Amino acid sequence: FPVTIYLGDPLTNIAELPYNEISKLENKDSVFVIIFSAEGHAYREFKQIIDRLINESGMIAKNICIHSSALSDSEDSPVHLIGTISNIVGHMVHYIDLNPEKNFDFVLDPTHHFVCLNRLHRWERAELVQMLFDRNLSMYGKISYATGTSDEVKIDKVRSVFKPVYRNLLPMTIDKQVVDYEAGFKMDNPGIKAALFNLVTESAYEHPDIETNPYNKSITAQHTAGITEKTLKTFITGQIPILVAPIGTVEASRKLGFDMYDDIVDHSYDQERNPRTRLTMIVDEVARLCSLYNIEDLGVLKKTLYARQAHNVQNMIRWKYNHSILIPRWVEYFKQLGVS
C-alpha cells in the first residue's frame, strides 16, 4: 500500500516537524517518521519530539524510527532504532591514512601498559582517573585530563570535583597543554602509541543516577552504546581497547565485526547495569592486566597482533560511508510493519 514518510534531522534543521500536517493524515498505519542524527542520540534525547508525534500528531510509536550512530536504545523506548557507524567511520578515514605501516608500528616497543585520554571533563572520567591514582595504577600508564580549550574546559570547576590531593595535577597533559578537536584525530604521539592498551573514555556514558531517575534533567549527553573516533583510533593503531562506555558497547562493537581481543581482556564489565560499579570493574581489569604483563611481555604480545589489527582496519573500510550494509535491516523493519 502507498506510504508517507517524513525524514527529519532535529539537530541541524531548525524547521519543526509538521506535527499538524501529520495529525490530519487519516491512515496512520501507512505514515512513517524517520528521525535522523549523525550523533549518538536515541529515544531519551528525542523524547520531546517523539511525545509530540504520538500525542499531538497521532503517530503510531512503532512507525517512528531513529537512525543515528547510537547502537542501542533504552529499554523503555517505544520506537525503533537503526544505528550505524558508516558516517563516523567515513569521517575518521577522511582524517587518517589507514596504511598499517604508518599506524601499527612494530619497531616501537611498548614503554607503558595503557593510555587514557580525556580532553573534556565528564563525571565518569573524573571518577575513573581518580580511581587509577588511588590504586597506584597511574604509574603503568599515561593519562591526560581537561586538556581542551578554555571555552570547553573551566579548569577551576574541574579542580573542584577532584580530591584535593590531585587538584594541582590538573590539567594533566601528555604532549601539549591544549588539545583541540582536530588534534583528537592525530595518532603520531609516541606517548600515546607506545601503550598497548587504550582505556577509551567514549563520548557517551550513563548519568550516575540513571537507574533511579532515568529522566534526570542533568542528562546532557548521549548515554546509550555507540563508538566514535576514540575507539576507532585503537583499531587503527592496533591497541587493545578497554571501553569506558554505556552498557553493551563492547557487545555492539563485536556485532559490527570488530575484534575486541576477548582472549586478552575480560570485558565482563560491559554487561554491568550500574554505571559506578562498571567503573570499578574496569579499574579492576586494568589492575589485573598491569599485574599480569610486564613491559617485555607487552612487546611479545604486540608482535602477535598484526593480523588482528589488519582485520579491524578492513572492517572499518567495509563500513566507510557504506549505507548499503543496513538495507537488510530497513527491509526487515518495514516488512514487520506490513510494507512490502
Tell me the pLDDT tens digit for each residue of 314-329: 999 999 999 999 999 9
Q: Residue 191: which pLDDT band, with cuts at 50, 70 and 90? A: confident
Q: Residue 189: which pLDDT band, with cuts at 50, 70 and 90? A: confident
Q: Which of 151-165, 171-185, 213-227, 236-250 has the lowest mean pLDDT?
A: 213-227
For residue 48, the 8-state DSSP code is H
* pLDDT value of residue 219: 44
**How far is the C-alpha of 71 from the C-alpha of 69, rounded, in Å?**
6
Q: Which of 38-47, 169-178, 194-203, 225-234 has the lowest mean pLDDT?
A: 169-178
Q: Residue 211: which pLDDT band, with cuts at 50, 70 and 90? A: low
**How far is the C-alpha of 229 from the C-alpha of 183, rounded, in Å?**
11
Residue with the bigger pLDDT between 103 and 220: it is: 103
* pLDDT value of residue 175: 67
* pLDDT value of residue 217: 45
Q: Among residues of the chain, what percentage have pLDDT more than 70?
A: 88
Phi, psi dihedrals of residue 183, rounded to the nearest 5°: -65, -20
pLDDT surpassing 70 at residue 13: no
Q: Which of 220-229, 248-257, 266-275, 300-309 has the lowest mean pLDDT?
A: 220-229
* pLDDT value of residue 196: 96
The chain-wide mean pLDDT, for the chain, equals 89
Q: Residue 166: which pLDDT band, with cuts at 50, 70 and 90? A: very high
Q: Residue 221: which pLDDT band, with cuts at 50, 70 and 90? A: low
**How far is the C-alpha of 74 from the C-alpha of 85, rounded, in Å?**
19
* pLDDT value of residue 103: 60
At position 5, the amino acid (one-letter code) is I
Check if the beta carbon of residue 337 is closer than 8 Å to that of residue 5.
no
pLDDT surpassing 60 at residue 218: no
How far are the Cα atoms of 201, 219, 283 from residue 205, in angstroms, in the given order?
A: 9, 10, 16
Q: Which of 24-33, 74-83, 92-101, 120-129 has the lowest mean pLDDT?
A: 92-101
Q: Which of 119-133, 196-210, 317-331 has the lowest mean pLDDT?
A: 196-210
Angle made by CA atoms 288, 292, 297, in degrees to the nearest 5: 140
Single out the residue of 28, 39, 26 nearest to residue 62, CA to CA.
28
Single out the residue of 142, 149, 143, 145 nearest to residue 171, CA to CA.
145
* pLDDT value of residue 216: 46
For the residues 222-233, what does the mean pLDDT come to? Answer: 91
**How far is the C-alpha of 155 from the C-alpha of 160, rounded, in Å?**
9
Helix (H) or strand (E) holding 115: strand 112-116
Q: Which residue has the cell 603520531?
A: 188
For the residues 267-288, what does the mean pLDDT come to? Answer: 97
Check if the beta carbon of residue 35 is closer than 8 Å to that of residue 63.
no
At position 326, the amino acid (one-letter code) is L
pLDDT surpassing 60 at residue 90: yes
For the residues 297-325, what does the mean pLDDT come to? Answer: 93
* pLDDT value of residue 94: 77
**How far is the C-alpha of 234 from the C-alpha of 258, rounded, in Å?**
11
* pLDDT value of residue 2: 74
Quote the strand ranges of 135-277, DSSP E. Answer: 141-143, 195-201, 240-244
Over the Cα atoms of the chain, what is R_g?
22
